[in-house]
Structure 1
C-alpha cells in the first residue's frame, strides 16, 4: 500500500501541484481513508519528501543507464532530456515553484542532490565529446557543466518562462541546442544538425 500511495501522490503532485493536492484528495483518488495514508506517512510534508526523493532516484537510475550505453555525447544529452520530460509531465502547474515556495527545505535538498548527480554526468559527457572531437578542446569543463545545470533549472522558473508562452518540451529543445552549439566543433555541429533533422521527421 505504501508504494501505491507514493505512486498516486507523485502523479497528483506533478499534475496539480504540491500545495494544491490535499490528503483528502489523495485518499479520495485511492479510495482509502486518510488514516491509512497516515499509517505510512505521518504528515503531508513527509509524503512530499518521500515522493520527490523517489522520483529523483528513478530519474537518476534511468540517466545512469543511458550514460552506460556509451552512445555519442550529443545523442546522450537528447536521451536524458527525454527521460526528464517523461517523468515531469511537462510541469504545466509549476510543481517546482510550489515545492520551492511551500517546502523550501525539501526543495534545497533535492536541488543539491540533482546537482551532485548531474555535475558528474555533464563533466563525463564533455570529456567524451572532447575525446571524440565533437566538443571543443579548450572548454572549462567545470564551468560548462555548472552553467548548463543552472540553465536547465532556470527553465522551470515560470516568471522567466511563462507556460502561456513556452512548453517545457520546446524550452528544453531550444536550450539543449543552444548549449551544444556553444561547445561543439564543426564535426559536432554536423552531428547535432542530423539529430535535430531526424527528430523533426
Structure 2
C-alpha cells in the first residue's frame, strides 16, 4: 500500500502542484481513508519528501541509462531533455518552483543530489564532445558544467519565466540551443541544426 500511495501522490503532485494537493485528495484518488495514508507517512511533508526522492531516483536512473548508451553528445543532450520532460510533466504545474517555495529543506537536499548526478553526466558529455570534435577544445569544462546546472534550475523559476509566456518545452529547447551554440565547433553546429529545425510553440 505504501508504494501505491507514493505512486498516486507523485502523479498528483506533478500534475497539480505540491501545495494544492491535500491528503484528502490522495485518499480520494486511491479510494482509501486518510488514516491509511498516515499509517505510512506521518504527515504531508514526509510524503512530499518520499515522492521527490522516488522521482529523483527514477529520473536519475533514466539519465544514467541514456548516458550509458554513449550516443553522439549532442543527441544525448536532447534525449535527456525529452526524457525529463516526459517524467516531470511540468507544463501543468511547476514542481521544482513549488518545492523551493513551500518545502525549502527538501528542495535543498534534492538540488544537492541533482548537482552530483548532473556534474558527472554533463562533464562526461562535454569531454566526449571535445574528443569527437563537436565541442570547442578551448572551453572550461568545469565552468560550463556548473553554469549548465544552474541555468537548468533558473529556467524553471516561474516568477522569472511565467508559463503564460514560456512553455517548459519551448524554454528548454531554446536554452539547449543557446548552450550548444556557445560550445559547438562548425562540425557540431551541423549536427545541432538537425535538432533545432522544429521549434516548439509557446503553448
Q: Does the alignment reach a TM-score above 0.5? A: yes
Given that 1:18 and 1:98 are in contact with CA atoms closer than 8 Å, whether structure 2 keeps it comes out as: yes
Which runs of no fewer than 5 residues in structure 2 stay unpaired?
Answer: none
Poorly superposed stretches of 4+, deviation over 3 Å: 197-200
Given that 1:136 and 1:185 are in contact with CA atoms closer than 8 Å, whether structure 2 keeps it comes out as: yes
Q: State the alpha-carbon separation in 1 of the partners of residues 90 and 108 from structure 2.
A: 21
CA change 1:31–1:99 in 2 (3 A) is same
Q: State the alpha-carbon separation in 1 of the partners of residues 98 and 77 from structure 2.
A: 27
Q: State the alpha-carbon separation in 1 of the partners of residues 149 and 8 from structure 2.
A: 29
Given that 1:134 and 1:184 are in contact with CA atoms closer than 8 Å, whether structure 2 keeps it comes out as: yes
Given that 1:90 and 1:168 are in contact with CA atoms closer than 8 Å, whether structure 2 keeps it comes out as: yes
What are the within-5 Å matches in structure 2 for residues 1-201 of structure 1?
1-197=1-197
Aligned residues: 200
Per the normalisation by structure 1, the TM-score is 0.96
- TM-superposed CA distance for 1:198, in Å, is 7.4
Given that 1:90 and 1:169 are in contact with CA atoms closer than 8 Å, whether structure 2 keeps it comes out as: no
Which runs of no fewer than 5 residues in structure 1 stay unpaired?
Answer: none
- TM-superposed CA distance for 1:197, in Å, is 3.2
| Structure ranking higher in helix proportion | 1
Q: CA RMSD in A?
A: 1.3
Q: State the alpha-carbon separation in 2 of the partners of residues 95 and 110 from structure 1.
A: 12
